[in-house]
Every structure is written in structure tokens, then in C-alpha cells.
Amino acid sequence: MPSPIFSHPHRVTYAECTAGDHIYHARYLDLLEAARGEFFRSLGSPLRAWQEREVIFPVVECQLRFRRPARYDDSLLIEVWPCAIGGVRLNFGHRVLHSDGGVILEGETRHACTNVAGALKRLPPELVDLLTPYLIPASA
């Protein structure tokens, strides 16, 4: 059985930080996006391949809880896993951990499955099959 949580390493760059030497809050969404992309790539099913099949997953909602700051040159681990799969919905849980094990951020991104023009479409069955072994339902 595969590990249910995918981990993607990241080193904080100077460009991601504020004058106060912590990652600017909106930059975390870029980090989560990068980790989701690497998760799909690790499954042998890159997001580009889905886009070429007229399937994309725009974020429709996100919830982030900031626990502590990450600073320039910190080594982070970004965890991602699917937490809801079905119909047109595909949601991911996220956690950003510092190299010392401390939690930087916890969150969830909610995505709709659409074509490239933005019309809703059901998740392809082969994608559901691919992601289901990694599913960790979100706590209520």
C-alpha cells in the first residue's frame, strides 16, 4: 500500500519573505500548488497530461491556519494528500512542517474539476482510481 501522505521538500527563498523575514502569507498558496503538482507527477500522472485531456482543477476555496512563521533559508517539508474525491470535487489536505518537526501551516484546498473553458465536469474514473489509495478524509 502506498504512503498516504506525499512530502515535497522546499527551501525558503529570499523572494518569498517579507521585510520581517517570514514567508508572506499568500506565498504559501504557491508552495501548496507546487507540492500538489509534484504529488501528481509522483503518481505518473502530471497535471499537464490532464490539461492536455481538457481536465483542470481550479481552486474554488482554501482554508489556511498559520501556526508559526517560516523564515528565509528554512528547510520545509510540504505534505499533501487528497481528503475528498467525488463528482466534480477534489480536495487536498496540506501541512507545512519545519525541519525541526514543528508545524508551520495546516490547510485544505478545495478544487472543482472543469474543462479548460471552466465548465464543470465529473472527475475521470481513472483519476479517482489513482487517488483513492491516498485518500485521508478530512475531519468534520
What is the per-residue pLDDT across 40-68, written as a single tens digit (0 to 9) for each?
999 999 999 999 999 999 999 999 999 99
User: What does the buried/exposed string (b/e) look like for 6-37 if buried means 16 or more CB atoms within 10 Å of the residue's CB?
Assistant: bbbebebeeebbeeeebbeeebbeebbeebbe
Cell 508559526 locates to: 68
The number of helix segments (H) and strand segments (E) in the chain equals 3, 5
Position 1 in a domain: no
Instruction: Give residue-wise pLDDT tens across range 94-120.
Output: 999 999 999 999 999 999 999 999 999
pTM of the model: 0.94
Cα–Cα distance for residue pair 93/138, rounded to 1 Å: 7
**pLDDT tens per residue across span 125-134:** 999 999 999 9
* Structural domain containing residue 11: 6-134
CATH of the domain at 50: 3.10.129.10
- Within-domain flag for 127: yes
